[in-house]
Structure 1
């Protein structure tokens, strides 16, 4: 990941210029308010990743030959969908949320 001095790096919550990085996931953030919001998302993702069933799904997807077919099967699993949704909320937060 680029350093915090890079002009393309933005806060994962408000998209402003970041000053800090999350100690757990290293994502950039700019303020205590943004960190508190991100911390909840980060904790949710960490909790999901501790689930053995989700980890098995991810390993089988990674090691499989037909990734498109496996992804379609994984998206039928509620736990995997929850994981995908959590990831999407982190990398592309909904625009209608109040910051």
Structure 2
């Protein structure tokens, strides 16, 4: 995972600059309050994707979405991604939160996977 000094790493609860990492799942958080909220849903068996620089290619065959669905299910098991989506859903400034989320390679991978499932013809053309 990127260092806590990276500009793209944000607290999994409030999306502020983190100072710490969860000792169990290693997601970033910024305060005791945020850690307590995170701890309620922490799953130490599912660790965030470490230092992913590229987005995995999505299957380009529109008839076979099974692989994409398995990839999507796998991504949704990630507690960091789940927390990003909860924060986005519950946040007041959706545009700002979405901008922050799109700086996270894991969120971009999730978005690309979803698009590959709902718009398979788009993948065929590219």
User: TM-score, normalization: structure 2?
Assistant: 0.48
Which residue in the other structure is 1:95 paired with? 124
Which residue in the other structure is 1:39 paired with? 66
Which residue in the other structure is 1:74 paired with? 101
Structure 2: gaps spanning 5 or more residues:
1-61
Would you tell me which structure has more helix in proportion to its own residues?
Answer: 1
TM-aligned CA deviation for residue 74 of structure 1: 0.2
Q: Which runs of 4+ in 1 moved over 2 A?
A: none
The counterpart of 1:57, out of the listed 52, 60, 84, is: 84
Q: How many residues align?
A: 64
Show CA shifts across 1:35-89 (max 9, x none): xx21101000000000000000000000000000000000000000000000011
TM-aligned CA deviation for residue 95 of structure 1: 2.6
CA distance in 1 between partners of 2:92 and 2:79 (Å): 22
- Structure having greater relative contact order (Cα 8 Å, sep ≥ 6): 2
CA distance in 2 between partners of 1:70 and 1:61 (Å): 6
CA distance in 1 between partners of 2:102 and 2:95 (Å): 11
User: TM-score, normalization: structure 1?
Assistant: 0.60
CA distance in 1 between partners of 2:95 and 2:108 (Å): 15
Structure 1: gaps spanning 5 or more residues:
1-12, 14-33
